[in-house]
Structure 1
Amino acid sequence: MQQPVTHVNLVITTGEPAGIGPEISIAGAQAFLAEQPDARITLLGDDNLLPLSSQEKLTFADRLQVQNISLSSLSSPGILHSQNANYVLKTLDLAVDGCLQGQFDAMVTAPIQKSVINEAGIPFTGHTEYLAARCHAKREVMMLCATLPSGFLGLKSAKDLRVALATTHLPLQQVSAALSYEVVLETIRVVDHDLRTKFGISKPLIRVAGLNPHAGESGYLGREEIDFIAPAIDACRNLGIDVHGPFPGDTMFDPKSLPNVDAYIAMYHDQGLAPFKFVTFGSGINVTLGLPIIRTSVDHGTALDIAGKGLADSGSMLEALRLAYQLALNQRKKL
């Protein structure tokens, strides 16, 4: 007797209403559902921003639905309104609650405009930090992922590049004070744990960067490596984690290391994301580790200048959906 199909239920928060989020959410969802007949997607957002044609409704039936959340203020492409800050946050809250309650297997987020939320008087540093607070996570980690094709930088076969961050959205002058033995240790542990449990990698190999030029040059260019980065790495190795470093930031991403490394950990935002985005050409995906739920996202912004013009590329959204789907399947295998 044939077993009934158990759908993987994904939810998309469609992001800043004045940006490209709504259009890439619809396009990415449709492309993904055409690939995966056992997936179902719910779009969270205002009906007027997410129109589905009669043909689209017929093609996907109940596998593509819009859960209407009304805008606080009328929205036009490219024109920001701080009155819609609570609308954006409501989409995130509903997605998180749905994942925690088992309604959704994973959430995928379209880009938001941080300035709009802050202008509304709501302190907000980014998706990663907000979702961690909503999930009461002890330690969240931002990680970017992309697949490098065979032949690129001498790769003999396609390879997943993953770059995680010990600190996220901070002014550079605050990074050193935000780092500590505990931060580095917990970042390594979260990355190792989620690579095992969510990505299905049985023995991850991790590389960790130092903070200072030349990884501190034995203390002559800074002591963070000596005082807590190297000791945290050693402690994690004693826990059985295959982690190495600290490497100078300018040599950590050695192309020769790519075939063997499962994740790189940078100490601050641009140390990790500048090289990542240089080689991934906008095809990356953002994953939040350390949460009790699965969350992936596009790795680009709201692109206000092209919103509503039919120019937005939904490729990153499609990749984010593909990864969310795969992580959800991996999670099911663990249950």
Structure 2
Amino acid sequence: MEKIGITMGDPAGVGPEISVKALASNVDYLNNAIIFGSTSIINFYVNLLNLDYKVNSITKPSEFKSGYINVLNVMDLSFDDIKIGEVSPTAGAAAYKYVESAIQFSLNREIGPVVTAPLNKEALHLGGYNFDGHTEIFATLTNTKKYTMMLWSERLSVVHVSTHVALREACNRVKKDRVMECIELAHDALIKLGVTNPKIAVAGLNPHSGEAGLFGNEDMDEIVPAVNEKKAQGYNVEGPVPPDTVFLKASQGKYDIVVAMYHDQGHIPMKLLAFDSGVNVTLGLPIIRTSVDHGTAFDIAGKGIAKEESMLWAIKLGIQFSRNS
């Protein structure tokens, strides 16, 4: 198995805790994963959780030791430098540096998949890194132009035409070429996950998918031509399917994945059905990136009660992508 890089996220949030808990609960992951973060903070959580494992602080993957919680010490912050559960430019900058380091080692093929714990966007910006989130960091640092966010779970999976933009701007981004791009990325991702001839639904943008132009023209002018062209190319795709029923149909098995038109259209059903088990994947990158599908949870950080289920799923899916890429 390739070594897995886990970025511990914002050190003031739950990322360090769920990273440690995930490795402590699965010896195979423990013996094949490196946490990119701060040794002192990982030690804090090892002690908080009364774990028997020792921490091996390293500067490169070749220093890895089996049987330890291996931490590539990117920035050795401690809780003397930041406060648990609070937004901090220091923590935001550190979270970026963890990701930057893991991406570089993955591009150099010194590690395989990169699995990310959550960062805080306000802290990230205060730290001097004006990205909308992980997806945009990965795309920029890997020089990737065509990419999308996929949310995966056993019950429902979605990809997004747009994510972190204002709703008015999201409507403007519903364009034929972008919709076709997302259909292709969704299809290729599911093939790698072992789905034969994936059934893809493309959600409409407007109520009733525009009702033949009564409620907006984007569905007729942009989505229909995109779907028809991909059908002609042999893709198993339907749409635009009215957005108020498409996710129900997908969760019942009619479709393997839904192309959502904007952030909340895809995120709301996913978080309703799979809040603790959903995985965020960036498609189109030259490396593999998966992530938990939740935020930094500052309100419970440092209390030892954060759930690691989404992190375990993210690691599992990263390994699966790696084996089939």
Q: Deviations over 1:98-154 (max 9, x none)?
A: 111111110100000000122234321011111111111121111111123xxxxxx
Q: CA deviation at 1:84?
A: 3.1
Q: Confirm or deny that 1:132 pairs with 2:139.
A: yes
The one-letter amino acid of 1:316's match is: S
The answer to whether structure 1 residue 111 and structure 2 residue 118 are counterparts is: yes
State the Cα distance separating 1:271 from its structure 2 match: 0.8
Distance of 2:14 and 2:84 partners within structure 1: 8
Indicate if the aligned counterparts of 1:129 and 1:140 stay in contact, CA closer than 8 A: no
Whole-Å separation in 2 of the counterparts to 1:124 and 1:42 = 25
Q: Which consecutive unaligned segments of at least 5 residues does structure 2 have? A: 57-63
Distance 1:124 1:58 in 2: 31
- What are the residue-to-residue correspondences of 1:1-335 with 2, within 5 Å? 7-32=1-26, 34-35=27-28, 40-51=32-43, 52=46, 55-57=52-54, 61-62=65-66, 64-71=69-76, 74-148=81-155, 161-196=156-191, 198-255=192-249, 258-331=252-325
Change over 3 Å in CA distance of 1:254–1:80 after alignment to 2: closer
- Under a length normalisation based on structure 1, what TM-score does the superposition of the two structures give? 0.87
State the partner residue of 1:151: none
Letter in 1 for 2:74: I
- Percent identity, please: 38
- How many angstroms apart in 1 are the aligned matches of 2:251 and 2:316? 26
Task: State the aligned residue count.
Answer: 310
Residues 67, 177 of structure 1: alpha-carbon distance in 2 compared, 3 angstrom cutoff: same
Name whichever of 243-252 and 280-289 sits farther off. Answer: 280-289
1:275-333, Cα deviation, whole Å (9 max, x unpaired): 111112432111111111111111111010110011111111111111111221222xx
What is the alpha-carbon distance in structure 1 between the residues aligned to residue 258 and residue 160 of structure 2?
A: 8
CA distance in 1, matches of 2:269, 2:91: 34
Classify the secondary structure of the residue corresponding to 2:144. coil
TM-score of the two chains, using structure 2 as the length reference:
0.89
- 186-195 vs 303-312, which moves further: 186-195
Gaps of 5+ in 1: 1-6, 149-160
State the shift of 1:62 in Å. 2.3
Q: Contact 1:71 / 1:87 at 8 angstroms: preserved in 2? A: no
**1:85 offset after TM fit, Å?**
2.8
